[in-house]
Amino acid sequence: MYFPVIMLHYVLDDPHESIAKWSITPRKFVEMLDCIDKMHLEVTTFEEIVTRGLSDRQLRNKVVITFDDCPKSLFDFAIPELLKRGMKAVFYVPTAYIGKYNLWDVEEHGTIKTPIMDVSEIKTLMDLGMEIGSHSHHHILLSKISGENGFDEISQSKKILERILSKPVYSIAYPYGEIPKRFKSALKKAGYKFGLSIYSPSQHEFSLRRIGIYQTDSKKSILFKLSKSYHLLREIGSPIKKIKRLVTTKGQ
């Protein structure tokens, strides 16, 4: 199974320096969407993949756009631009912070406080045809917790969102891209169909690698990142990195 999954956070013209590395400008966002059109990729969601039963063959020309954290500012430009183009995206929210602020970033990275979408705005996203997914409950490193605590983090957020939306939640984006311990069985038990990481050593439905698009990306680099060549390069790179780690460990 392969289709590019794009990872974004903020789309802002003049982001505060503390969140700049997670931000792209509206102009860069438009450039990215133009690249998707140029490659004749069709934007889909995980909800569509599940409910329409899309096969691997049908996914060959698809792309999924994802946003982590659900800052309210996405309503200023990103969401209207998607709607203008008839495109959808998947929005991942840490449920403990719905209607609050990005306190995990403030406490850990000293970032500026940014408001997170509230229940009404999350429902509006759904009404606009967007998909809502889990970003855990407290936005913590899932790989650092295990057992019942880990399961509660991923199951509680799913239950909260399903109560808000009155519909199933199909996917989770792991905070910081870190895959939790014994994730397959936990995700299946919670009822998820997909799990999204960033640099997972292998790829399947519960460890889908995402492609970060950054302000430093050029049109050329965006097109490459969306290509099958980039996917193959990442596939080749993963075992090489693993071998290097093993060699380094043995040499110590």
Residues 30 and 111: their CA atoms lie apart, in Å, by 26
Domain range list for the chain: 5-251
Q: Is the pLDDT of residue 234 over 90?
A: no
Confidence at residue 243, expressed as pLDDT on a 0 to 100 scale: 38
Percent of the chain with pLDDT over 70: 91
Confidence at residue 12, expressed as pLDDT on a 0 to 100 scale: 98
Residues 227 and 106: their CA atoms lie apart, in Å, by 35
Residues 127 and 92: their CA atoms lie apart, in Å, by 16
Query: Which residues make beta-bridge pairs with 131?
Result: 90
Q: Alpha carbon of 48 to those of 7, 40, 94, 182, 213: distances in Å?
A: 18, 18, 22, 27, 23
pLDDT band (50, 70, 90) for residue 238 = low
Asked whether 119 and 165 are in contact (CB, 8 A), the reply is no
Residues 235 and 29: their CA atoms lie apart, in Å, by 26
Q: Which of 63-67, 75-79, 104-108 has the weakest average pLDDT?
A: 104-108
Asked whether 22 and 9 are in contact (CB, 8 A), the reply is yes
pLDDT, mean of residues 94-117 = 96
Tell which residue, 34, 13, 122, has the closest CA to residue 84. Answer: 34
Please enumerate in sequence order all residues whose Cβ is within 8 A of that of 21, keeping only pairs 6 or more positions apart, or say none: 214
Q: Is the pLDDT of residue 246 over 60?
A: no
Q: Work out the angle at residue 44's Cα, subtended by the Cα atoms of residues 119 and 164, and round it to the nearest 5 degrees.
A: 20
Q: Is the pLDDT of residue 247 over 60?
A: no
Length of the chain: 252
Confidence at residue 239, expressed as pLDDT on a 0 to 100 scale: 46
Q: Is the pLDDT of residue 100 over 70?
A: yes
- Is 5-251 in CATH node 3.40.50.150? no
Q: Which of 40-49, 123-132, 204-213, 230-239 has the weakest average pLDDT?
A: 230-239
Mean pLDDT value across the chain: 91
- Residue 151 exposure: Cα atoms within 13 Å on the Cβ side: 10
pLDDT, mean of residues 113-138 = 98
pLDDT band (50, 70, 90) for residue 200 = confident
Confidence at residue 217, expressed as pLDDT on a 0 to 100 scale: 97
Residue 133 has phi, psi (to 5 degrees) of -130, 170
Q: Alpha carbon of 101 to those of 64, 112, 124, 130, 177: distances in Å?
A: 26, 10, 19, 22, 20
pLDDT, mean of residues 196-202 = 81
Confidence at residue 245, expressed as pLDDT on a 0 to 100 scale: 43
pLDDT, mean of residues 48-54 = 97
Residues 99 and 124: their CA atoms lie apart, in Å, by 14
DSSP conformational letter for 240:
H
Residues 135 and 7: their CA atoms lie apart, in Å, by 13
Please tell me which residue, 176 or 148, carries the higher pLDDT value. Answer: 176
Residues 212 and 47: their CA atoms lie apart, in Å, by 21
Confidence at residue 250, expressed as pLDDT on a 0 to 100 scale: 41
